[in-house]
Amino acid sequence: MSGRAAPAPERDPGLQPERTRLAWRRTTLSGTVAAVLAVRSVLHSGVTAASVLLCALCCVCWLAFLLLAHRRIRTLSSTGRPPALAPGHATATVLCTVALAGCAAALVW
């Protein structure tokens, strides 16, 4: 952008990578809330083998989500001009969310 020759990666005055990084953080927080509610529902509605299995699946989805977010956050903070999000990465995050919802539907039922 500017003509300054900087040895370190050039800082974007709009802080776009940082804002995107924080957006990922907020999203993992939302996912954590959903996962905590899943665990709470199992604890309150009686522990059976099926409900424990579904709860474990929810936790796996949440962990996968955290891992994907962590990888993207690392990319965003490592370079001054991060590459665009890969479609596979976005799809994987969405599939984690959908799987979480599927487990939730099974738990509610």
Please report, as ranges, the residues that interact with another protein according to CB under 8 A. Answer: 12, 14, 16-17, 19-20, 23-24, 26-27, 30-31, 33-34, 37-38, 40-41, 44, 81-88, 90-91, 93-94, 97-98, 100-102, 104-105, 107-109
CB of 18 to another protein, least distance (A): 10
Q: Looking at beta carbons only, is 4 or 44 nearer to another protein? A: 44
Do 32 and 62 form a contact (C-beta atoms < 8 A)?
yes
**What is the DSSP track for 49-79?**
HHHHHHHHHHHHHHHHHHHHHHHHHHHHHH-
5 vs 34 by CB, closer to another protein: 34
Tokens of 73: 């956050």
